[in-house]
Structure 1
Amino acid sequence: MSFKVVIDSCGELPKELKGDQRFETASLEIDVDDYHIVDDETFDQAAFLKMVKESPNVPKSSCPSPEKYMKAYHCDAEHVYAVTLSSKLSGSYNSAELGRQLYEEEYGSKDIYVFDSKSASVGETLIAMKVLEYEEAGMAFEEVIKNVETFINEMQTFFVLETLDTLRKNGRLSNLKAFLANTLNIKPVMGATPIGEICQLDQARGMKKALDKMIDQIVEKAVRPEEKILAISHCNCFERAKEFKEAVAKRCRFKDIFIVDTAGISSMYANDGGIIAVV
């Protein structure tokens, strides 16, 4: 069976999948003052971070339209899967579902399924990779859905950011938590609840100690790590991500660990220096 995966642009595809015709990105868009940015291959992270730093205003994002998803679904593939940001953080999931309904109204029935990642960034990446794994194993459409949903329910998301301002200003975090983090150099170790909302797991003073705490969380919560991939995304801090990868590998044996750069939406929330890890 032929298949296609449509992943919104908060999910960072590794290089080997970016050129794979079975994968398509549905781009979110970002506004910083008068600048309008499409989160696609033209995204310039350095210029974006400079813009955000110089602006007194918080960047705003918009999800792909239902029509954009419908267009992505209109293809020769027999099975189509969409992978989106957590429905608790973005309208991308609802837009993808509306796109599916529009497609069926326009073109008729087709095997299309939308996965709510209940995560973001490389959490979406791992889900897309699972779809690829199960499709290439020859699983039926319904079987792929069942197994990927099980994977999502077991998935663990972690992140530590240099600043929580964007999350706070976009209503994802309390003012008090962001104030304490910025004034006392307290770095919360954050995660995702089973329904995809942001939660605090731990905290430490300073980035290095917070990343050590995040490793503690990963080691504690990882189930059958030798069967799983740990995905790490970083915003403009490759050396930090590399050191984090090496430190995790010393404490927990994963099937594989890979690192990618944050794309536009992930860069917007992670800010300069942020680290996200999903397993």
Structure 2
Amino acid sequence: MTVINSKLNSGAEGLLVLEAAKLLESGKNYEQVVEIIEETINRAKIYVSVNTFKYMVRGGRVSAMKGFIGKILNLKPIISIDENGKGIAFGKTFSTKANTKKILDIVKKANQENRIISYNVVHANCHIKASELALKLTENLGQAPEYITEISPVVGLNAGILAIAVSFISC
């Protein structure tokens, strides 16, 4: 057994597990799979559209003051994970619709720079929005997501209800 610290979570980590399964199924041996997955980690990304700062304040990820200011300004953050596995504020907008557009732009740019080979959409109790986002991504990328599913409880705890995320692995 080999423990691999992906420094990722949720949908991004799920894509790595799915990739490992595909590699094993294709005939790669254990050592090859470990090596390929360790190389793939740097090409995996996640972008989470957060509907409210409330849960991030509760979880201690954001100070009460920043959460209050975010609420007053109606800010909607986009959270990602840096190369060290730390959550970072990647961007912010004033509406969930603008967050969705910004995430679509991020994915489109990433695909132009280094073709996206797989992606998924995960969400916290917003099935319809997740399906709509997946449809737009399918149109933009020319491929359907690997899957659409509920977000992991840990991410949901901090991101809160109505959070939606896109994860992908690029070449």
After TM superposition, the score normalised by the length of structure 1 is 0.55
CA contact (8 A) 2:79 2:91 kept: yes
Alignment pair present for 1:219 and 2:73: no
Between the aligned partners of 2:13 and 2:42, the Cα distance in structure 1 is 13
| Matched residue SS, 1:157 | strand
Matching of residues 171-210 of structure 1 within 5 Å: 171-210=60-99
Partner of 1:277: 166
State the aligned residue count.
166
Query: Per-residue deviation at 1:180?
Result: 2.9
Partner of 1:24: none
- RMSD value over aligned CA atoms? 1.8
| Matched residue SS, 2:24 | helix
Matching residue's letter, 2:132: E
Matching residue's letter, 1:202: G
CA contact (8 A) 1:230 1:254 kept: no
Alignment pair present for 1:160 and 2:43: no
Query: Per-residue deviation at 1:133?
Result: 1.0
Q: Deviations over 1:69-119 (max 9, x none)?
A: xxxxxxxxxxxxxxxxxxxxxxxxxxxxxxxxxxxxxxxxxxx11122222
Matching residue's letter, 1:208: K
Between the aligned partners of 2:37 and 2:28, the Cα distance in structure 1 is 11
Q: Which runs of 5+ in 1 are unaligned?
A: 1-111
Matching residue's letter, 2:46: T
Q: Deviations over 1:109-167 (max 9, x none)?
A: xxx11122222111121111111011112222221111001111111110011122332
Alignment pair present for 1:133 and 2:35: no
Q: Which runs of 5+ in 2 are unaligned?
A: none
Between the aligned partners of 1:261 and 1:170, the Cα distance in structure 2 is 20
CA contact (8 A) 2:76 2:99 kept: yes
Partner of 2:124: 235
Between the aligned partners of 1:255 and 1:131, the Cα distance in structure 2 is 19
Matching of residues 41-52 of structure 1 within 5 Å: none
Higher relative contact order (CA 8 A, sep 6+): 2
Q: Deviations over 1:175-229 (max 9, x none)?
A: 454333222111112211112111122221111111111111111123212xx22
Q: Which has the higher helix share?
A: 2
Deviating beyond 6 angstroms after TM superposition, the runs of 4 or more aligned structure 1 residues are none
- Structure having the higher Rg: 1
Instruction: Provide the identity percentage.
Output: 22
